[in-house]
Amino acid sequence: MGAVTATPDLKKLTEGPHVHRNLSTPQLIEAAIARGEGRLASNGALVALTGARTGRSPRDKFTVEDPQTKDRVDWGKVNQPFPPEKFQALLDRVVQHMAERDLYVMDLYAGADPAYRLPIQIVCEYAWHALFVKQLFVRPDLTALVRHSPEFTVIAAPEFESIPERDGTRSGTFILADFTRRIILIGGTKYAGEMKKSIFGVMNYLLPSRDVFPMHCSANIGPDGDTALFFGLSGTGKTTLSADPLRHLIGDDEHGWGAGGIFNFEGGCYAKCVDLSEEKEPQIYHAIRFGSVLENVVIDSKTGEPDYSDIRHTENTRAAYPIEFIANAVIPGVGGHPGNVLFLAADAFGVLPPIARLSPEQAMYHFLSGYTAKLAGTEAGLGSEPVPEFSACFGSPFLPLAPRVYAEMLGRRLREHKAACWLVNTGWTGGAFGIGQRMSLKHTRAIVHAALDGRLAKAEFITEHAFGLSIPTTCPDVPGEMLNPRNAWADKNAYDAQARLLASKFDENFRKFDAPEEVRAAGPRPPASAIR
């Protein structure tokens, strides 16, 4: 590393009588309750509220621009530059703020594979934040703990708010990444997910240079040892489809694909809780118990019973728990090279087929696109029509490098390991949202199972004309007429027009990417006559 401005003595944050290091789960819960940070629910989980910030604050996230990052980071709306001298001044103030308070320090790892794991240290102002990271990251055993030497430090100071005019931030909240000094600085927000996703950003920055493909996806493994990956934005069914009772869960959110196969970045799960029920999602429901953290969940003042349908604080209610709380979890979280990679899209336009087999070039195109569709009424300001949502690599907020870096790694891995890649529509069929109907979970599960166990590969495939996708003519336990989306629409001209509209949205979004011509050509190209 090149010369940088002197960093303050971080020993003030990790040593001394005010520092509580690597406390046990009961000790952290006891401290959090004693400090008034949370209370216990009837199921034993610690419940904490995050105040005004109930989700990530992407506009308050910055990356220090210095000689190491200047030509490497993909600067823009996601990766906003921050001056090193401003970072240093703010770090000095935060250290002073933290040195005057009780602190909770956790020594952990990111990465279940010892060959690639990153030793991290997280310094928390809140005991419940320390419990959160303890349950979400990989916990070292006592032997490893003695040798633990962190390569990255996260400093979480929710009670410290910056002054934008002085500190160069946008608001009192800040999430700053300094990849040279290897420090993540978080302040002005109690939302614990910022710590988790900051380390995910670190892994996305570090691992490509180590020939490891970092991925925002879930992963599971079948009874025969076959690994599968599930990519998809919120609402596409990623958690539901990967939490399969017939398969074992490797992880639900962040993974790496290295020389030996797949490995989970985390040691826990961070699941959405809105409308959670034992009937719909029994694995998650029963994983929430003593040692878990419930974020912004309303509990009955008398009984302590969680009310997962009450979203008075936020719809983004969350539960954090160790992955071993899931009955069929893979411990440690590693698996072989995947035989199948699935991209999930909840297509509210009703255009995409229930499943399509992608070539490597098509896979790179749809990976860069990262498509799903928002539904009318789910967000303020949306009208009555479906709204496309594109997030590069299914995780653009967490990518420090250019999307092409990750897409090329995907293409290489698919070719090298001969993995099949599938595009799965968990959205609408027979018409757009408001006219057609949502794909039934029963049929989607049957389609996914047929793809993973090899039965679908034996079917006859044809090319549909709107997006040039290879689709099966038959699939076990699925009506044949629904496999070709155009056939499912009563008004074929209306389908053609809708397909043309969606293709134009894809094309408009894809113009921003630096992609090889063969990948660009793999996008949708419906014929001009599709609109009548």
Q: Dump pLDDT digits (tens) for 461-478.
A: 999 989 999 999 999 999
Q: What is the model's pLDDT at position 384? A: 59
Confidence of residue 244 (pLDDT cuts 50, 70, 90): confident
Domain membership of residue 55 (yes or no) is no
Domain membership of residue 93 (yes or no) is yes
In the residue annotation, 227 being an active-site residue is answered as no
Catalytic residue among 181, 255, 318, 500: 318
Look up the CATH number of the domain holding residue 454: 3.90.228.20
Question: Measured between alpha carbons, how far is 229 from 286 in angstroms, rounded to an integer?
Answer: 24
In the residue annotation, 197 being an active-site residue is answered as yes
- Beta carbons within 8 Å of 153's beta carbon, 6+ residues apart: 10, 120, 121, 122, 123, 182, 183, 184
Q: Dump pLDDT digits (tens) for 132-145.
A: 999 999 999 877 77
Q: What is the model's pLDDT at position 380? A: 40
Q: Is the confidence at residue 6, as pLDDT, over 70? A: no
Average pLDDT value for the chain: 93
Catalytic residue among 60, 253, 347, 496: 253
Greatest alpha-carbon span in the chain = 76
Catalytic residue among 61, 181, 190, 197: 197
For 8, which DSSP code? P
Lowest mean pLDDT among 278-287, 297-306, 317-326: 278-287
In the residue annotation, 56 being an active-site residue is answered as yes
Number of folded domains in the chain?
A: 2
Catalytic residue among 50, 54, 56, 61: 56
Nearest Cα neighbor of 268 from 244, 295, 250 is 250
Q: What is the model's pLDDT at position 234? A: 87
Q: What is the 3-state secondary structure (H, E, C) of 71-93?
A: CCCCCCCCCEEECHHHHHHHHHH
Domain membership of residue 509 (yes or no) is yes
As a whole number, mean pLDDT of residues 5-23 equals 80
In the residue annotation, 97 being an active-site residue is answered as no
Confidence of residue 525 (pLDDT cuts 50, 70, 90): confident
Q: Dump pLDDT digits (tens) for 188-219.
A: 999 999 999 999 999 999 999 999 999 999 99
Q: What is the model's pLDDT at position 37? A: 98
Domain end, chosen from 163, 188, 212, is at 212
Domain membership of residue 474 (yes or no) is yes
Cβ atoms < 10 Å from Cβ of 93: 18
Q: Dump pLDDT digits (tens) for 101-116.
A: 999 999 999 999 999 9
Are 375 and 383 in contact by the 8 Å Cβ rule? The answer is: no
Catalytic residue among 42, 234, 378, 463: 234
Catalytic residue among 61, 129, 196, 238: 238
Domain end, chosen from 212, 243, 262, is at 212
Q: Taking the model in full, what pTM does it have?
A: 0.93
Domain end, chosen from 183, 212, 241, is at 212
Q: What is the model's pLDDT at position 148? A: 87
Catalytic residue among 117, 190, 216, 247: 216
In the residue annotation, 318 being an active-site residue is answered as yes
Nearest Cα neighbor of 19 from 149, 155, 138 is 155
Q: Dump pLDDT digits (tens) for 403-425.
A: 999 999 999 999 999 999 999 99
In the residue annotation, 216 being an active-site residue is answered as yes
Domain membership of residue 303 (yes or no) is no
Nearest Cα neighbor of 471 from 479, 458, 454, 483 is 483
Q: What is the model's pLDDT at position 3? A: 37
In the residue annotation, 369 being an active-site residue is answered as no
Instruction: Residue 360: give the domain boundaries.
Output: 340-525
* Same domain as 156, residue 17: yes
Q: For the chain, how far is it from start to end, CA to CA, in angstroms?
A: 61
Residue indicated by tokens 């610690």: 46
Domain membership of residue 259 (yes or no) is no
Q: Are strands 61-64 and 437-438 parallel, antiparallel or unpaired?
A: unpaired
Domain membership of residue 92 (yes or no) is yes
* Positive/negative CA dihedral, 233, 433, 510, 345: positive
Question: Measured between alpha carbons, how far is 402 from 282 in angstroms, rounded to an integer?
Answer: 39
Catalytic residue among 169, 198, 218, 239: 239
Nearest Cα neighbor of 249 from 235, 268, 236 is 268
Are 427 and 347 in contact by the 8 Å Cβ rule? The answer is: yes
Domain membership of residue 427 (yes or no) is yes
Look up the CATH number of the domain holding residue 98: 3.40.449.10
